[in-house]
Amino acid sequence: MCSGNRSKELSKGGKSLGLKWGPGAVSTSVWGGARLCDVLQHCGVLMPKKRGVQYFVCCSGADKLEGAGKDAAPGSGPSSYGTSIPLEVAMDESRDVLLAYEQNGDLLTPDHGFPVRLIVPGFTGGRSVKWLNKIEISAEQSDNYYHLHDNRMLPSQVQDLDTAISEGWMSRPEFVINEMNVNSVICTPAHSQTLTIDPSNEDAAYSITGYAYSGTGKKIGRVEVSLDGGKIWKFCSVGYPAQPTKHGMYWSWCFWETRVDVMELVESSEIVVRAWDSAMNTQPENSSWNLLGNMNNCWYRVKIHQDDSADDPDAGQDERTISFEHPTQPGILTGGWLQTSQASEPESERELTLKLMHQESSSNLDLGDQLPSTPRLL
């Protein structure tokens, strides 16, 4: 999951930087590869014995992007994407950090990091470096431009990028995003979907579905849906597509479903969902705006609109239609009940830079002859 998942919803609190993600910056795959802890131990890496000493695993890829190094900026020349994770996470067998060369039973494709990429389950996707070509152990976190300028959740009082950089907010470790928070989203009804109710189905049940996820590896204990703004919650059935690991970790998303009476939808103005994990972490009712637009996990709301013709005395009384509206639409698409004029504004230079960083296709990346024809771990 990207730490910017659902960032587009934060526009109501002011313009945020970074990509404008809807609720689809998340997925699950079956990864195959070598455990990073095994590779590091093979190379002689040990955990420090002295308490209070922290080391980092710094990783970089073979891609060429604009800007790197703590003093660099967009336009400073081509460089690789890099980031770091704590050494204790990399060395912990229960965290399942991988040097992955397989995805869903096949070798990685170039789009997804061929020949080898890092996979850090539960962490923001920005830590899972593609096209991996360097691993270093350091007493300091990565000084790569993209590590220092993204995947951070700054306090709401930091209102602009110049302030964030000049006052040192970006480099403070307490604002680094690693583990993802609890989140859930409604998938059906879909945006703009309509439902016509007539005597043949007014006593029927309607299925509401979606996904939920927790980046801590904890199980989603329950998902709840409300049709009255959170006064009464209805439990959902929850199913995982994968079993927990031998250490009891739940790294995949889960899918949830509940059924409500059709007439309950007619009498409601919105559908709301929230999830809880096994440690009773849950989603807040309202979002928390931050400059980079990260970690939004407030209740997900789908508005229900009644067909105006229901009030038309000349219209038939045997049927009525309701429609559903999600808060936003993906990417540059317009629509959604939270839509603002910001969606049509030109992208800033920073947004374009971050788009390069998160590029899912290698077609615009100059990898040259750096990628070997077969996977090599060492």
Residues marked active site are found at 2, 150-151
CA distance linking residue 105 with residue 32, whole number of Å:
7
- Give me the helices (H) in 24-99, please: 36-42, 87-90
- Give me the helices (H) in 83-182, please: 87-90, 145-148, 161-166
Amino acid at the residue 210: G
Instruction: Report cis status (omega within 30 of 0) of the bond before 372.
Output: no
CA distance linking residue 129 with residue 123, whole number of Å:
12
DSSP 8-state secondary structure symbol assigned to residue 176: B
DSSP 8-state secondary structure symbol assigned to residue 93: G
Cβ-Cβ contacts under 8 Å for 309 (sequence gap 6 or more): 315, 320, 321
Instruction: Report cis status (omega within 30 of 0) of the bond before 189.
Output: yes
Q: 27 phi and psi, to 5 degrees?
A: -165, 180
Tokens 């003093």 sit on residue: 71
Half-sphere exposure of residue 158: CA atoms within 13 angstroms, side-chain side: 21
CA distance linking residue 174 with residue 3, whole number of Å:
15
CB 103 within 8 A of CB 111: no
Amino acid at the residue 140: E
Tokens 């209102």 sit on residue: 159
End-to-end Cα spacing for the chain: 28
DSSP 8-state secondary structure symbol assigned to residue 178: -
